């Protein structure tokens, strides 16, 4: 069989707090990210993504401490992004226990960074984070700084380029749908997923299990990021997993073990 579709919890971080916005703006503090991560791990989430949405140098220490604490009792893959501008920044994040780094703004400004990180730590470590905003039917533009800054770069061209530079995965966020809970931009996900030979994580818009089903079946996502729906307890990981299985989507089946 194929690899199972991964269910990933995305935790946006500001300073020491988990936060959530709409269209990546209008941020609300939700609490201690470690507690949320631990809870999702217990519920059987497949992976965790931390994105520091401010990522100033000043606040870097709190991100590092969140990651360090998480890896003490959460034994699944952890991706960390936000403010990674160099190979040294990536190394620092990996050293505290992250498995992959997600790079967005710095890659837009200097695409060679994708190649450098991939060369140094392996493609499996290098997640290219793309913020996409729809500009016309079937056209999307790359944004950065949480959907505030436009680049004039076409999303499909950038995805292709990132792939050639050595990205191992793409985290694809629809700025239009993010935080709305009204479903994914499946057309966007599908356009990127069919274009690139590497896995695509769809992000932005999940409100119900129907949205999950759509983005897998129509959007051809390889993995699905869930944020607000979990944070606000509209859904839990079991709901998504069991309902996905019932609908014939391959997700990880939990098998009993003694641990």
Partner 1 sequence: MPTVTVIDYGIGNLMSVARAFEHCGASIELTDDPRKVEEADYLVLPGVGAFADGMAGLAERGLIDSIKAFADKERPFLGICLGMQMMLDESEEFGANDGLGLIPGKVVAIPSTGSDGTPHKIPHIGWNEITAPECTSWGNTILHDTLDRTPFYFVHSFSAVPEYQHHRLADCLYNGALISAAIRNNNMYGCQFHPEKSGKAGLQIIQSFLSKV
Contact footprint for partner 1 (CB under 8 A): 1-6, 41, 44, 46, 71-73, 75-77, 94-99, 121-125, 168-169, 197-199, 222-223, 252-253, 255-259
Angle among Cα 231, 233, 179 to the nearest 5 degrees reads 50
Which residues are identified as catalytic? 12, 131
> In this complex, which beta carbon is closest to partner 1, that of residue 5 or of residue 226?
5
* Tokens (6 digits) for 179: 């935080």
Residue 241 CB, nearest approach to partner 1 (Å): 11
Toward partner 1, which CB reaches closer, 166 or 179? 166
Closest CA relative to residue 116, chosen from 89, 87, 90: 87
Task: Report whether 202 contacts 224 (CB < 8 A).
Answer: yes
Nearer to partner 1, 76 or 113 (CB): 76
DSSP state of 115: H
Alpha helices in 154-208, H assignment, sequence order: 155-165, 186-195
Q: Are 134 and 191 spatial neighbours (Cβ–Cβ below 8 Å)?
A: no
Tell me whether residue 7 or residue 19 sits nearer to partner 1 (CB atom). 7
Both structure tokens of 9: 């919890």
Which 8-state DSSP code applies to residue 5? B
Q: Output the smallest distance, CB 91 to partner 1, in A.
A: 10
Pairing of strands 169-174, 126-136: parallel
Q: Which is nearer to partner 1, 99 or 141 (CB)?
A: 99
Min separation Cβ 222 and partner 1, Å: 6
Smallest gap from residue 94 Cβ to partner 1 (A): 5
Q: Which residues pair with 130 in a beta bridge?
A: 172
What is the smallest separation between the CB atom of 143 and partner 1, expressed in angstroms? 25
CA-CA-CA-CA torsion sign (138, 142, 148, 150): negative
Angle at 190 between CA 187 and CA 191, to 5 degrees: 85
Pair of tokens at residue 214 = 């759509």
């Amino acid at each position: 069989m194929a690899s199972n579709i991964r269910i990933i919890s995305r935790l946006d971080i500001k300073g020491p707090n988990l936060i959530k916005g709409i269209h990546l703006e209008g941020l609300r503090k939700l609490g201690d990210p470690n507690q949320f991560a631990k809870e999702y791990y217990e519920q059987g989430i497949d992976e965790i993504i931390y994105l520091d949405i401010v990522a100033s140098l000043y606040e870097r220490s709190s991100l590092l401490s969140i990651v360090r604490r998480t890896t003490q009792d959460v034994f699944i893959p952890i991706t960390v992004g936000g403010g990674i501008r160099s190979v040294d920044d990536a190394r620092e994040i990996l050293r505290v226990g992250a498995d992959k780094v997600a790079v967005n703004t710095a890659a837009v400004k200097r695409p060679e960074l994708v190649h450098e990180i991939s060369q140094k730590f392996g493609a499996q470590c290098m997640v290219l984070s793309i913020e996409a905003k729809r500009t016309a039917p079937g056209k999307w533009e790359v944004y950065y700084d949480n959907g505030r800054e436009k680049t004039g770069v076409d999303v499909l061209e950038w995805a292709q380029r990132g792939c050639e530079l050595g990205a191992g995965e793409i985290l694809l966020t629809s700025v239009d749908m993010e935080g709305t809970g009204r479903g994914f931009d499946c057309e966007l996900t599908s356009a990127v997923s069919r274009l690139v030979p590497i896995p695509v994580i769809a992000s932005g818009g999940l409100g119900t299990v129907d949205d999950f089903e759509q983005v897998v079946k129509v959007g051809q996502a390889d993995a699905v990021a869930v944020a607000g729906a979990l944070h606000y307890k509209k859904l839990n990981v079991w709901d998504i997993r069991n309902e996905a299985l019932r609908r014939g989507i391959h997700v990880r089946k939990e098998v009993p073990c003694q641990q």
